[in-house]
Amino acid sequence: MNKLVRYSAQAVFYALFFVPLAYVSHQPNYRYMEDDIAVLKVAVRHAGEIIGECKSIVGESHGMRPSSMVQAVEVCPRERSPLELELILDGETLYRAQVAPSGLHNDGISSMYQRFELPAGPHHLQIRMNDDIKVDGFNWQFEQDINLQPAQVMVASFKEGFRIQ
């Protein structure tokens, strides 16, 4: 009789633990996004062009260096251009930003990430970027008709040109 009571009590305690756990695991239903919504993610990681020109070391400034130093013929600036990005969907500008380069001397890579929830269906996508402040306008352009399915996640990235996955 003692074993029967002990096993019954154990079953009751297990049920008190697992029944709420099973309920919470299945209810309420979680919906990541609405049925007619798709997601477009834009990720860019790119180093802009170097600002300025290299300067030759000539005359006295070249001779003033200690002999233990490597004799450089040119001194080049380190600072890079910021990226100018523009995302246009169906003729409407969704995103426009200037992304500064990273690093102490603005000599690193510019990085940006944006997520857009869009209605599913056909769209005309344009992504434009300028990575050189000496150039007017945009020197990188991408234009494509896309068809977003409900709950689809589409990623636009940049590596020697824009691409969509």
Contact in structure between 118 and 89 (CB atoms under 8 Å) = yes
CA 101 to chain centre: 14
Contacts 24+ apart (CB under 8 A), 136-139: 138/84, 138/86
Residue found by looking up tokens 């798709």 in the block: 38
Residue 53 in 3-state DSSP?
coil
Please indicate whether residue 68 or residue 36 has the higher confidence score (pLDDT). 36
Cis peptide before 82 (omega within 30 of 0): no
Q: Is the pLDDT of residue 67 over 70?
A: no
Q: Count CB neighbours of 78 within 10 A.
A: 14
pLDDT in tens, 71-111: 657 788 888 999 999 999 999 999 999 999 998 888 899 99
pTM for the full model? Answer: 0.70
Give me the helices (H) in the chain, please. Answer: 2-26, 60-63
